[in-house]
């Protein structure tokens, strides 16, 4: 009986530790955002399968975020085998959301990854000036009009993100 319990325990441990590596070993693109998002909200993630930035609702999904006054890691996992060429991030619909501070964005695919920090984020992404205000000193973004429903947005800046994503997908 002890042997069966020991084997069962080992199997459970192996499954537990292997679950952490699932997103790194399959064909899913994973975007991790290290940010301070104080109030619970959702991020609307748009993507295209080409170089263009004509984003549509059909190629988008929502990621719920629990509010926290501390840094948190928000993991966005794309559906299996989808290799987006451009990504847009819309930071929620909670009009009571204070400034959002984006510290770091990491994008990984299989065993490759890129990390964007501070100025690199805004070199690779651009704010949507029609609805977003960016504070260069703090790295925070917020709604231009506090009463508007649409939250602050990050769009790809030219082909910079496109090139970085293609580097992740390349076999080399």
Q: What is the largest CA-CA distance in the chain?
A: 67
Number of folded domains that form the chain: 1
In a domain, 145, yes or no: yes
CATH of the domain at 156: 2.60.60
- Res 94 pLDDT > 70: yes
- Res 90 pLDDT > 50: yes
Give residue-wise pLDDT tens across range 109-152: 999 999 999 889 999 999 999 999 998 888 899 999 999 988 99
Distance (Å) of CA 147 to CA 37, 45, 93, 114: 18, 22, 10, 35
Residue 17, Cβ density class (10 Å: 0-12 exposed, 13-18 middle, ≥19 buried):
exposed
8 Å CB contact between 35 and 100: yes
Give residue-wise pLDDT tens across range 25-65: 578 999 999 999 999 999 999 999 999 999 999 999 999 99
Domain containing 44 equals 26-169
In a domain, 3, yes or no: no
Least confident of 17-26, 59-68, 99-108, 154-163: 17-26
In a domain, 105, yes or no: yes
In a domain, 7, yes or no: no
Q: What pLDDT, on a 0 to 100 scale, did the predictor assign at position 2?
A: 57
Q: What pLDDT, on a 0 to 100 scale, did the predictor assign at position 25?
A: 52
In a domain, 9, yes or no: no
Query: 21 vs 153, which has greater pLDDT?
Result: 153
8 Å CB contact between 82 and 29: yes
């Amino acid at each position: 009986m002890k042997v069966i319990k020991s084997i069962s325990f080992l199997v459970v441990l192996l499954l537990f530790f292997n679950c952490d590596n699932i997103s790194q070993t399959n064909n899913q693109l994973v975007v991790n955002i290290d940010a301070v998002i104080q109030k619970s909200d959702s991020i609307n993630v748009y993507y295209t399968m080409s170089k263009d930035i004509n984003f549509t609702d059909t190629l988008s999904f929502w990621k719920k975020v629990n509010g926290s006054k501390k840094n948190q890691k928000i993991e966005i996992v794309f559906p299996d085998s989808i290799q987006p060429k451009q990504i847009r991030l819309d930071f929620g619909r909670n009009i009571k959301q204070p400034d959002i501070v984006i510290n770091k964005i990491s994008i990984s695919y299989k065993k490759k990854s890129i990390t964007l920090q501070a100025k690199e984020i805004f070199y690779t992404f651009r704010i949507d000036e029609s609805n977003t205000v960016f504070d260069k000193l703090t790295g925070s973004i917020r709604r231009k009009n506090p009463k508007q429903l649409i939250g602050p947005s990050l769009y790809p800046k030219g082909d910079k993100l496109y090139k970085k994503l293609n580097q992740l997908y390349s076999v080399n």
